Amino acid sequence: MNDTPVILLGGASGTGKSQVSYPLARRLGVPIVEIDDIVEALQAMTTPEQLPALHYWRADPDAPALPPERIVEMQISVARSLVPAVRAVVANHLETRTPVVIEGDYLLPSLAAELDGVRAAVLYEGDEEQIVENYRLREPAAGAQRERARVSRLFGDWLAGQAERAGVAVVPARPWDDVLDRLLRALE
């Protein structure tokens, strides 16, 4: 895998991407970039008028009350608006041959499919109750986040479908004890 400088790890919130991306980066001896950091930087440098989708969640206080399907549509819109920024980061790493693992909810599988020298996978969890439990373990004070888990499962289903169409590996998050090994095999 040393010949692949860029690895993209996507998947919906609550599937375990961050939990597996750091051990993956350590195993490969490469740094990690989180898409959330790119989002924060772009939000700091732009206005809602310049990138409406990217600022939507902060600009509309009623956004969390939208139906799950509408929230998923907005997540897809955010992911699409991030493509130029993610493409630039990937291009920089490819050009400089600087290995990296890039992980985040908003990584579109189609982007990985269009770039040479990139390997990608989508971490997938199709069980909403498991996602509720993952959120409970990660954010115990927030209580049962059933609506958020529903959104995550729907977005995860969409990402998995996109990955399959793009020829990008879809890796089930469970069983957890061997997910890193299964992910590495999928990326080969």
Helix (H) or strand (E) holding 138: helix 128-138
Distance separating alpha carbons of residues 109 and 5, to the nearest angstrom: 17
pTM of model > 0.85:
yes
Domain boundaries, the chain: 6-187
* Cis previous bond, 52, omega within 30: no
pLDDT of residue 19: 94
Distance separating alpha carbons of residues 78 and 155, to the nearest angstrom: 12
Residue in the block written with tokens 């770039």: 115
pLDDT band at 64 (very low <50, low <70, confident <90, very high): confident
In this predicted model, what pLDDT tens digit does every residue of 38-57 receive, in sequence order?
Answer: 999 999 999 999 999 999 98
Token output for 58? 């902060």
Token output for 8? 């993209």
Is domain 6-187 in CATH 3.40.50.300, yes or no? yes
* Contact criterion met (CB below 8 Å) for 96 and 124: no
